[in-house]
Amino acid sequence: MLSHFSVRIFFLWGLCVIVSGCTSTPVGEALAVKPAVVAAATKPQDAYVLLSGGGTPLSNNYSQYLQARELAAFFGRTVPAGSSWVFFGIGNREGVAPVLADTRKEFKEAGHLLQSWLPGSLPQNRPATKESFLRALRDEILPTVSGGGTLYLFVGDHGEWLGKDEKRESGITMWQLKAGGRRSGGWSTDEKEVLGVRELREVLVSGLGRGSVVFCMTQCHSGGFHELGLAREMTPPRAWFSIVPSWAGAVAGGMRLRVAGFTATDEASLAAGCDADPDPEKWAGYERFFPESLLGVDLMSGQSKGRGASSLAAAHEVATLVDQTIDKPRSTSEHYLESWARLIETRLATTLSVTAKTQQAVVAFQRAVDTGVVRGVPAATATATATWRERQAQFARFTVRLVEQIPAAKDLLQAGTRAQLEAAVSGRGERGGGVSGRGNRRAAMAEMRKTWSETLRPAWKVAVAGGMVSGVSGAVLEFERHLLKLEDDGRDFMFPRGNNDTPLLNEIYWNSGYAKPAKLDPVKAADVARWGAERRARVVAWGATSSEAAVRAAAEKMGPGLVSLADDVRPISRKTAAERVLFYRRVLAAWAFLIEMDAQPALAELRTLIELERTPLPAAVGRPTG
């Protein structure tokens, strides 16, 4: 361990977006402790931080609130007063009138998904905005831990992939709905509310001092945050070359801050789990499995699931074994080794000026990735070899579970070559489909829009304006007239482009009354939400009984749309399984390469990362709650 003290910060978060390269600040400068910070943290303490509920009321899903609610309650029961911080949504706090309903919860009724919203109130909650979070991080949290702590970090659910080329970086979607807009009751969306790797790293560099960070992030594109404390590109030592290239360094290394943890996926991929309608039997993904494994608590019910994990590393293994989704869980130590694998593949394997020993190690790396078998790890480095074999055994357990989930892929996953694995990875994935038939679908949709706008909608509008539609009255009639007026101005609620239902969700949120919990009329809100879900089917049903043949024909052409919902959980795909196995091979092969090259500085950094990841939770943490 780097220190016998711990500073624990929990971040929960969730959505989709990227990460950039690490700062070039020398490690000595990065870890320097400013006198003012030391004075503020004479007694190192643990810090528990929950960050979740980003985006807007349209995207802040109920599953995020379930995560946050259980962790906030856990903090309240187990950690010392003053050592935990909670940042969720707009900042609704228990015991205080809510500002707005900020959490979207769907429910099923007659084959439709109906929308509702509730305030995500939590004890001692603060807004999950950049200003609120970073101010607390600078002024309260880091001073608490800078004298020698560990910051346990859980970020869940929403993340983004920012920028492009060499400036790409992962980002966390913070709370974006701000007062003062011209539309939607004086509120607007600030899409700049995204916290990237670089900005968060700068704050840590300036205030972390002798502290450490251990994190778990479950949001899309979360993998880039492994580079909070790591360089993006590894630096090989000059001794590996017969003619030294300009990009080689004095020693091999890439660690900048004492930061390590676990993510649901890599920087370029979406993650699973975030759901406005989490089903207790079908809600799946690392975002659920990790905190449940850590706390020993069912996030849906709050009931005990047994003894919680002793460390984030232990929770990560349990979560990975049961995660059959598109997630690709990984640790910082593995991200570090994958960076070395990338250096070997793109630099060392293509450079003629490496030494004979380096060339032999490169060939061994390539053979190990291609066959899945690593031969000849030097026994002289007993500690490094033992830890390597532990990870090899863990990856073997992960692979066995993947084979159990996809028996037809057994030969590929256990004995496939690199080329075969890469071919499976490049094949059709879970969220995609082929391009065949796209032109026909676009033409059919264009024809349907034309049918709606030129025939069915004009007749429907006349009937609504004249109060001639049975069963449509009161708040529902008012809402439909509102939608028709907006459609007159060019809005599209019946066939939004790209199947984007955000415009209609936005109108339901503000016009149903759900937005203002203090003034909520539950009956009106439910009626408006139900109309939003059933609008197409209701309009088509009305059109089918019209006395005008053209209107009846238009209704038949449009059809009622989706009237039932598929609840089946899609099993893990061959593509995702191949990605995971190829990642395991490259990580182990890169590690064996460093051992073979006796790269002691790099191996020391790797040991530090693994020790951080294995930081034990205090006795009160990781225990069942009832």
pLDDT-derived band at 437, boundaries 50, 70, 90 = low
- The answer to whether the beta carbons of residues 51 and 149 sit under 8 Å apart is no
pLDDT-derived band at 12, boundaries 50, 70, 90 = very low
pTM of the model: 0.88
Q: Letter for the amino acid at 99?
A: V
- C-alpha–C-alpha distance, residues 450 and 458, integer Å: 12
Choice among 471-475, 488-492, 620-624 with the minimum mean pLDDT: 620-624
> Taking 90 as the threshold, does the pLDDT of residue 177 lie above it?
yes
pLDDT-derived band at 444, boundaries 50, 70, 90 = confident
Q: Which has more pLDDT, 384 or 192?
A: 192
DSSP state letter for 437? T
Cα torsion through 349, 350, 353, 356, rounded to 10: 30
Q: What pLDDT, on a 0 to 100 scale, did the predictor assign at position 565?
A: 53
* Chain-centroid distance, C-alpha 609: 22
Among residues 600, 601, 597, which one has the least CA distance to residue 27?
601
pLDDT-derived band at 430, boundaries 50, 70, 90 = very low
Q: What number is the average pLDDT over the span 425-453?
A: 71
- C-alpha–C-alpha distance, residues 51 and 35, integer Å: 29
Which residue reads 């049918």 in tokens?
451
pLDDT-derived band at 23, boundaries 50, 70, 90 = very low
Q: What number is the average pLDDT over the span 486-502?
A: 83
Among residues 101, 127, 99, 128, which one has the least CA distance to residue 115?
101
Q: What pLDDT, on a 0 to 100 scale, did the predictor assign at position 552?
A: 95
Q: What pLDDT, on a 0 to 100 scale, did the predictor assign at position 183?
A: 56
Maximal C-alpha separation, the chain: 89
Q: What pLDDT, on a 0 to 100 scale, did the predictor assign at position 1?
A: 35
State both tokens at 110: 């007659």
pLDDT-derived band at 21, boundaries 50, 70, 90 = very low
- The answer to whether the beta carbons of residues 465 and 477 sit under 8 Å apart is no
- Domain layout of the chain by residue ranges: 27-351+604-613, 446-558
Q: Which has more pLDDT, 21 or 421?
A: 421
Rg (CA), the chain: 27
Which residue reads 């084979």 in tokens?
403
3-state helix, strand, coil in the chain (%, to 5): 45, 15, 40
How confident is the model over 403-415, as pLDDT tens digits? 999 999 999 999 9
> Taking 70 as the threshold, does the pLDDT of residue 36 lie above it?
no
Which residue reads 């959490």 in tokens?
103
> Taking 60 as the threshold, does the pLDDT of residue 24 lie above it?
no
- The answer to whether the beta carbons of residues 227 and 203 sit under 8 Å apart is no
- The answer to whether the beta carbons of residues 302 and 217 sit under 8 Å apart is no
How confident is the model over 255-297, as pLDDT tens digits? 999 999 999 999 999 999 888 989 888 899 999 999 999 999 9
Q: What pLDDT, on a 0 to 100 scale, did the predictor assign at position 282?
A: 85
Q: What pLDDT, on a 0 to 100 scale, did the predictor assign at position 619?
A: 61
Q: DSSP per residue over 176-228, as a string?
A: -EEET-SSTTTEEE-TT-EEEHHHHHHHHHHH-TT-EEEEEE-STTGGGGGGG
- C-alpha–C-alpha distance, residues 144 and 7, integer Å: 8
How confident is the model over 325-351, as pLDDT tens digits? 999 999 999 999 999 999 999 999 999
